[in-house]
Amino acid sequence: MNGSARSKSKVRKCGGSFDGPGKQRQLDELQNVISEPSFWSDQQRSSQILQQRARLEEILDLDRRIAGHVGDVEALMELAREGEPVGDDFASQLKELEAFLEKTETRVLLSGANDRLNAILNIHSGAGGVEAQDWAEMLMRMYMRWAEQNGFKTQILDYQDGEEAGIKSATINVIGEYAYGYLASETGVHRLVRISPFDSAKRRHTSFASVAVYPEIDDKIDVVIDEKDLRIDTYRSSGKGGQHVNTTDSAVRVTHIPTGIVTQCQNERSQHKNKEVCMKVMRARLYELEIVKQKAKSQGIEDSKLDIAFGSQIRSYVLQPYRLVKDVRTKVEVGDVDRVLNGDLEVFMKAFLQTRMGAA
């Protein structure tokens, strides 16, 4: 117990930036404001204050957890000085602390305006025919495993089968705090090089698939969509797009005519629910498009759409003639390709976030 108490004091002195007592005072002040009878009269102000409270609570909880980890290590050091055999426990605690600090560092980098939101992940096969469609399905599996390993829920909003194997496209809702912040690093073209399982001559093939990630915006963010700008088509659900697919014309495709953005959904039984999903994805995509335009204008850069083909990829996954995953933007390389394809994307996401913060 004494070790933990001493460590807490040291963390606050060395950490500085946490300023636990100061943050607690700010939180107490916000609690007093929230308890006022007139608090809910201004929805915009109350929403901002609730967000501030959530952020302060998160910082204080992080402060306590770091102090607890460091305290456990210092307590073991004290026992070691007294001659107790704590070598194995000490090594285990240090490893646990290192993993915790690694994740904490990544979380600190998630400072974007929409990083805390759920994500809408869209995967499209590109150049390469059946090879690309199989690759798109591999990417979908990779992201589903990443989500599962990191405690995020997933919901498949739309799923279009490939002609012979794999998928033409898929849209997935990734639900959980900071889902968008993490997955924003995945937007771009992903390139696969391998010996084709579909080629009887066993030749090496290059395949492409694109990934686009959008924040799932809530009702607090106003996105105006004029009904006159929309074309809504219905069609018959098909393929293995989910257990609710049926043979009625319940599938919905929504086209935003001014931008050419298309969303579609066939995974729900009713046409009404499929339209709701389409509009949720449409709002997210139009919001993201506006953000990109504003950034391009303020930074003096042009927004250009990349072809899903060689030369525009953000990451390469090489299975033959050697094994390597390399991120083109951050230069991060991982030799264990299977580990990456099984959802271990932490190193790529963290490097992207560091690059983004450095460029801010």
Per-block mean pLDDT, blocks of 10 residues, the chain (360 long): 36 47 87 88 80 79 82 84 82 81 79 86 89 95 96 92 90 93 94 88 89 82 80 75 53 90 84 86 85 60 44 87 94 96 94 80
In a shared domain, residues 170 and 202: yes
Query: For position 332, what pLDDT does the model report?
Result: 96
Look at residue 289 and tell me if it is in a domain. no
Query: For position 52, what pLDDT does the model report?
Result: 79
Look at residue 86 and tell me if it is in a domain. yes
Look at residue 324 and tell me if it is in a domain. yes
In a shared domain, residues 67 and 141: no
Query: For position 217, what pLDDT does the model report?
Result: 80
In a shared domain, residues 170 and 315: yes
pTM: 0.69
In a shared domain, residues 141 and 86: no
Look at residue 138 and tell me if it is in a domain. yes
Which of 109, 141, 174 is the C-terminal boundary of a domain? 109
Tell me whether the omega of the peptide bond preceding residue 85 falls within 30 degrees of 0, making it cis: no
Query: For position 238, what pLDDT does the model report?
Result: 64
In a shared domain, residues 16 and 159: no
CATH of the domain at 350: 3.30.70.1660
Query: For position 302, what pLDDT does the model report?
Result: 38
Look at residue 51 and tell me if it is in a domain. yes
In a shared domain, residues 83 and 154: no
Look at residue 228 and tell me if it is in a domain. no
Query: For position 242, what pLDDT does the model report?
Result: 46
Which of 55, 77, 109 is the C-terminal boundary of a domain? 109
Quote the domain boundaries for residue 49: 2-109
Query: For position 122, what pLDDT does the model report?
Result: 94
In a shared domain, residues 79 and 61: yes
In a shared domain, residues 87 and 124: no
In a shared domain, residues 98 and 124: no
Which of 66, 86, 109 is the C-terminal boundary of a domain? 109
In a shared domain, residues 64 and 133: no
Look at residue 22 and tell me if it is in a domain. yes
CATH of the domain at 42: 1.20.58.410
Total domains in the chain come to 2
Look at residue 334 and tell me if it is in a domain. yes
Query: For position 199, what pLDDT does the model report?
Result: 80
In a shared domain, residues 123 and 180: yes
In a shared domain, residues 203 and 327: yes
